[in-house]
Amino acid sequence: MKNVVKIIATFVLLLGTFSQVNADELFVFQDAQLKADNGKSAKIFLGVPVKVKKDMDTSAKVSVYGFLDGENVYSTKNKELLIATLDKGFKTKTIKGNEVELVGTIEKELLTENGAEVWEEHEEFFYEMCTQCHAAQAPSHHTMIEWEALMLPMKGFAKLDDEENSYLLRYLKSNASNGLVKTKH
Ligand code: HEC
């Protein structure tokens, strides 16, 4: 079922006219590769905001901002949400401290202007699994740390397996009050 929804969503997305990117800030629609000028890649996770620097034919040159720890990039200093992983040799630009900018090209068909659209399938699963006993609280109602703690008992209550649990947790944390931060730069 999940896959069918994904295929339909991808199909609808491909039908859209993506020849032109208008907005300054777009969102990665699914896990995607960011390719640097030196040929090295970084994996960018779904939902992550990117800032468009240059609109090219089928791709766009974009920036992604985050906090670096080894090969991992997180949305905050506290490293609560992994937003990218770097291949060996991928060079980041330091902004200050361990705050970095990742620059590279990305396929435009993997980007969307509508940040909420990214999470439609997750949201559906969330409401399906988490409203059996009580009303759902919006993801923005809690911080990332709070969701991590809340999901410990709720994983059992909702009978989620590990994969479903991390799928939901990524949705909840990304949309938490301190989740994916905008590309303010
Ligand atoms: C089998 C019933 C059941 C299911 C399914 C369930 N919950 Fe709960 N939930 C509870 C109960 C009972 C409490 C209150 C007791 C507690 O805090 O442990 C609660 C409390 C909560 C709270 C805290 C509310 C507050 O303000 O303190 C949140 C948030 C929450 N659940 C989220 C979820 C999420 C997310 C899911 C889906 C993954 C979920 N719940 C699925 C029974 C359930």
pLDDT in tens, 17-38: 444 556 789 999 999 999 999 9
C-alpha dihedral over 12, 179, 87, 114, to 10 degrees?
20
Token look-up 């361990």 returns 98
Q: Which amino acid is it at 83?
A: I
The answer to whether the CB of 13 falls within 8 A of the CB of 107 is: no
Q: Is 137 in the pocket of ligand 1 (CB under 6 A)?
A: yes
Q: What is the position in ligand 1's atom list of the atom closest to the CA of 137?
A: 29
Q: What is the position in ligand 1's atom list of the atom closest to the CA of 141?
A: 29
Q: Is 64 in the pocket of ligand 1 (CB under 6 A)?
A: no
Rounded to whole angstroms, how far apart are CA atoms 42 and 121? Answer: 25
- Encoded tokens for 55: 């609109």
CA angle in degrees (0–180, nearest 5) for 91-183-57: 70
Rounded to whole angstroms, how far apart are CA atoms 22 and 69? Answer: 32
Which carries the bigger pLDDT value, residue 5 or residue 86? 86
C-alpha 129 – ligand 1 centre gap (Å): 10
Residue 182 confidence class, pLDDT cut points 50, 70, 90: confident
Q: Is 135 in the pocket of ligand 1 (CB under 6 A)?
A: no
Q: Which residues of 20-36 are buried (b: 16+ CB within 10 A; e: fewer)?
A: ebeeeebbbbbebebbb
Nearest CA to ligand 1 atom 15: 153
> According to the model, what pLDDT value does residue 181 have?
75
100: enclosing H helix or E strand: strand 99-107
The preferred substitution site among 127, 134, 137, 143 for testing ligand 1, maximizing ligand atoms within 8 Å of CB, is: 134
pLDDT tens digits along 87-109: 999 999 999 999 999 999 999 99
Helices 162-174 and 144-157, axial angle in degrees (round to 10):
150
C-alpha 154 – ligand 1 centre gap (Å): 5
Average of per-residue pLDDT across 164-184: 91
In order of 79, 152, 165, 170, the CA distances from 156 in angstroms are 25, 7, 10, 17
